[in-house]
């Protein structure tokens, strides 16, 4: 496939300016088309839409601002850079609020022209790519944009679209950094409650004595320090969606009161005597297995059953690695814009490193790595610039069981062998716990074949919940 040559339209009533800009951009390998006025510019845009536009503010006939409005009506994804005299900079700045990407002040520096055009082209490409990905999922643009275009994300979006049309309570299960709140907001945005409030609560970040006040509100004077009435998150979310993150961290006592509110659809503020009607859509999120916690008695069974009308599992980034190149490029584009950089991309080794990493922090971690690397380099991001090592299984921590070994009656080699076996068993136990007993996934994470995992599970007699680890898909 032939390499795409970026197409830039230069619109200016001064011939000399058009010639100068054309020469600068053509030397950088861009295809340049020019127009002396707004009317001709619109004709060229309609005939063959450019990838970016340099547009003079002051022109006879249609001025730059009028042309800008017409361009945005035709295609809002084409980035427009305004060309302006120093005296008109204020107008140009205001124009950025109307959709202009940026502006160039006359007289301009050649390097500045190239730099700002490349930034504009990167922004335009990003917009077009995201638009094409989003065409089939118009209600969940932000989700596709931030999580990737893989089949797994497409299925996730389909589930979101399906449940959003109902008023089901939803449990979102996903690791840290996987995008649980993003999914919750996508459900809300695609629902009949989209115009009503979306309120988020992190149950793990609120001290237990303050949790009920935060959720249900309180009356003035209800406790020491309650100097005024406070509305809780339930009231503030009335008619909309209440998102409760890290629901597994909710204290048992609060769980009972929480269940009563969502069952009765009424609440009492702390210190209040008047019941208040509650109309919310409830979405909760966790990185733990609520069902397992319910069985173990650490989470109320009746609350779990009430919440889990519909469950959404967010696949971690390591299970959808086809999203990594897309996300890395997107984060690079955004970092370039934010940091005023022009990093061109990644070396092949850098891409291999990105693809081989397990990303325990998921998309959030990937974004941070790319952003840091963009800040530190001046051209292309290399493997070294990424400053990451192949990650282990999230939460995996172990130490050799040396203490207590029968060293008095054993040789060093025997002690070492026993230590290795102890570590091997501990690692395997931890990984299988992480994968939910999925030996095939454990094999992939540990980079061994399935037969090895199966043999060692049998050898060590590893069990979970009284049964050997299975082979769940």
CATH code, 148 = 3.40.50.300
Q: What are the pLDDT digits (tens) for 62-86?
A: 888 888 888 888 888 889 998 887 6
pTM comes to 0.58
CA–centroid distance for 110 within its chain: 36
Residue 323 pLDDT: 93
The residues, ordered by sequence, that sit 6+ positions from 137 with a Cβ below 8 Å of its Cβ are: 143, 144, 154, 157, 161
Residue 470 pLDDT: 42
How sure is the predictor about 472, in pLDDT bands with cuts at 50, 70 and 90? very low
Total number of domains in the chain:
4
Q: What are the pLDDT digits (tens) for 205-237?
A: 787 778 888 888 888 887 777 778 888 888 899
Higher pLDDT, 447 or 438: 438
As a whole number of angstroms, the distance between CA 145 and CA 383 comes to 25
Residue 182 lies in a domain: yes
Last residue of a domain, one of 263, 293, 313: 313
Query: C-alpha distances in angstroms, 357 versus 9, 327, 360, 377?
Result: 41, 14, 9, 21
Query: C-alpha distances in angstroms, 320 versus 175, 256, 351, 439?
Result: 14, 38, 15, 18
Q: pLDDT at residue 125 above 80?
A: no
How sure is the predictor about 286, in pLDDT bands with cuts at 50, 70 and 90? very high
Q: What is the mean pLDDT of the segment spanning 174-195?
A: 91
Residue 392 lies in a domain: no
In terms of C-beta density within 10 A (0-12 exposed, 13-18 middle, 19 or more buried), how is residue 107 classed? exposed
Residue 398 lies in a domain: no
Residue 111 lies in a domain: yes
Are both 197 and 244 inside the same structural domain? yes
Last residue of a domain, one of 313, 337, 355: 313
Are both 100 and 145 inside the same structural domain? no
Place of tokens 């993150």: 245
Residue 137 pLDDT: 42
Are both 242 and 284 inside the same structural domain? yes
Residue 302 pLDDT: 94
Q: What is the mean pLDDT of the segment spanning 129-137?
A: 49
Parent domain of 259: 138-313
CATH number at residue 329: 1.10.8.60
Name 52's bridge partners. 8
Q: pLDDT at residue 135 above 90?
A: no
Are both 147 and 202 inside the same structural domain? yes
Cβ-defined contacts of 332-335 (< 8 Å, 24+): 332/370, 332/374, 332/381, 333/122, 333/123, 333/125, 333/126, 334/126, 335/370, 335/371, 335/374, 335/375
CATH number at residue 463: 1.10.10.60
Omega before residue 107 within 30° of 0, cis: yes
Angle at 127 between CA 126 and CA 129, to 5 degrees: 65
Q: Which of 360, 363, 366 is nearest to 391 (CA)?
A: 360
Name 106's bridge partners. 85
Residue 469 pLDDT: 42
Are both 278 and 129 inside the same structural domain? no
Residue 223 lies in a domain: yes
Other C-beta atoms closer than 10 Å to the C-beta of 166 total: 14
Query: C-alpha distances in angstroms, 125 versus 4, 6, 143?
Result: 11, 10, 18
Q: What is the CA radius of gyration of the chain?
A: 29
Q: What are the pLDDT digits (tens) for 37-50?
A: 999 999 888 888 89
The residues, ordered by sequence, that sit 6+ positions from 130 with a Cβ below 8 Å of its Cβ are: 141, 144, 145
Residue 418, classed as helix, strand or coil, is helix
Are both 130 and 144 inside the same structural domain? no
Count how many Cα atoms sit within 13 Å of the Cα of residue 199 in the half-sphere of its side chain: 22
CATH number at residue 108: 3.40.50.2300
Q: Which of 24, 21, 23, 26 is nearest to 10 (CA)?
A: 21
Q: What are the pLDDT digits (tens) for 397-419?
A: 444 444 455 555 566 656 666 66
Are both 272 and 160 inside the same structural domain? yes
Structure tokens, 89:
């900079």
b/e string for 216-243 if b means 16 or more Cβ within 10 A? bbbbeebeeeeeeebebbbbebbebbbb
Other C-beta atoms closer than 10 Å to the C-beta of 77 total: 18
Are both 180 and 298 inside the same structural domain? yes
Residue 241, classed as helix, strand or coil, is strand
Are both 255 and 167 inside the same structural domain? yes
Residue 399 lies in a domain: no
Q: What are the pLDDT digits (tens) for 314-347?
A: 999 999 999 999 999 989 988 888 888 888 899 9
Other C-beta atoms closer than 10 Å to the C-beta of 208 total: 13
Between β-strands 102-106 and 170-173, what pairing exists: parallel, antiparallel or unpaired? unpaired
Q: Are 178 and 359 in contact (CB under 8 A)?
A: no
Between β-strands 52-56 and 266-267, what pairing exists: parallel, antiparallel or unpaired? unpaired
Residue 2 lies in a domain: no
Q: What is the 3-state secondary structure (H, E, C) of 164-205?
A: HCCCCCEEEECCCCCCHHHHHHHHHHCCCCCCCCEEEEECCC
Residue 372, classed as helix, strand or coil, is helix
Q: pLDDT at residue 468 above 50?
A: no
Residue 209 lies in a domain: yes
Lowest-pLDDT range, 140-149, 157-166, 302-311, 402-411? 402-411
Q: What are the pLDDT digits (tens) for 351-383?
A: 999 999 989 889 989 999 999 999 999 889 999
Last residue of a domain, one of 97, 116, 134: 134
Are both 60 and 164 inside the same structural domain? no
Q: What are the pLDDT digits (tens) for 11-39?
A: 999 999 999 999 999 998 999 999 999 99
Q: pLDDT at residue 195 above 60?
A: yes
Dihedral sign computed on CA atoms, order 408, 410, 412, 418? negative
Are both 266 and 309 inside the same structural domain? yes
Are both 252 and 334 inside the same structural domain? no
Structure tokens, 3:
């390499």
């Amino acid at each position: 496939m032939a390499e795409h040559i970026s197409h830039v339209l230069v619109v200016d009533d001064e011939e000399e300016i058009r010639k100068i800009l054309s020469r600068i951009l053509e030397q950088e390998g861009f295809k340049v088309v020019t127009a002396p006025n707004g009317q001709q510019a619109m004709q060229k845009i309609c005939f063959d839409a450019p990838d970016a536009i340099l547009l003079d503010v002051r022109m006879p006939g249609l001025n730059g601002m009028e042309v800008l409005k017409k361009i945005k009506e035709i295609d809002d994804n084409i980035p427009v850079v305004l060309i302006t005299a120093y005296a008109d900079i204020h107008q140009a700045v205001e124009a950025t609020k109307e959709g202009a990407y940026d502006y160039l002040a006359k007289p301009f520096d050649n390097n500045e022209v190239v730099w700002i055009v490349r930034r504009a082209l990167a922004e335009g490409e990003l917009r077009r790519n995201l638009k094409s990905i989003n065409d089939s999922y118009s209600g969940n643009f932000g989700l596709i944009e931030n999580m990737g275009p893989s089949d797994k994300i497409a299925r996730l979006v389909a589930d979101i679209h399906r449940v959003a049309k109902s008023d089901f309570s939803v449990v979102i299960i996903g690791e840290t950094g996987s995008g649980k709140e993003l999914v919750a907001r996508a459900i809300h945005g695609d629902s009949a409650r989209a115009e009503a409030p979306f309120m988020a609560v992190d149950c793990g970040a609120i001290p237990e004595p303050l949790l009920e006040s935060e959720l249900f509100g309180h009356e003035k004077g209800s406790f020491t320090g309650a100097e005024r009435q406070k509305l809780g998150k339930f009231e503030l979310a009335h008619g909309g969606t209440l998102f409760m993150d890290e629901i597994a961290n909710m204290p048992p006592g609060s769980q009972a009161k929480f269940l009563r509110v969502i069952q009765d659809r009424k609440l009492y503020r702390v210190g209040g005597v008047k019941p208040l009607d509650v109309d919310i859509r409830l979405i909760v999120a966790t990185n733990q297995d609520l069902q397992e916690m319910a069985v173990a008695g650490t989470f109320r069974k009746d609350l779990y059953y009430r919440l889990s009308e519909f469950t959404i599992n967010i696949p971690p980034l390591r299970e959808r690695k086809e999203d990594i190149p897309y996300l890395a490029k997107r984060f690079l584009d955004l970092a370039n814009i934010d940091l005023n950089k022009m990093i061109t991309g990644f070396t092949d080794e850098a891409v291999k490193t990105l693809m081989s990493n397990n990303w325990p922090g998921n998309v959030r971690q990937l974004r941070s790595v790319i952003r840091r690397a963009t800040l530190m380099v001046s051209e292309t991001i290399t493997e070294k610039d990424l400053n990451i090592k192949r990650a282990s299984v999230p939460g995996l921590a172990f130490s050799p069981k040396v203490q207590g070994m029968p060293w008095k009656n054993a040789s060093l080699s025997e002690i070492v062998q026993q230590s290795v076996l102890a570590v091997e068993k501990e690692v395997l136990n931890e990984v299988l716990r992480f994968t939910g007993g999925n030996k095939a996934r454990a094999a992939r994470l540990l980079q061994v074949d399935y037969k090895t995992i199966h043999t060692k599970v049998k050898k060590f007699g590893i069990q979970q919940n009284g049964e050997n680890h299975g082979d769940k898909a």
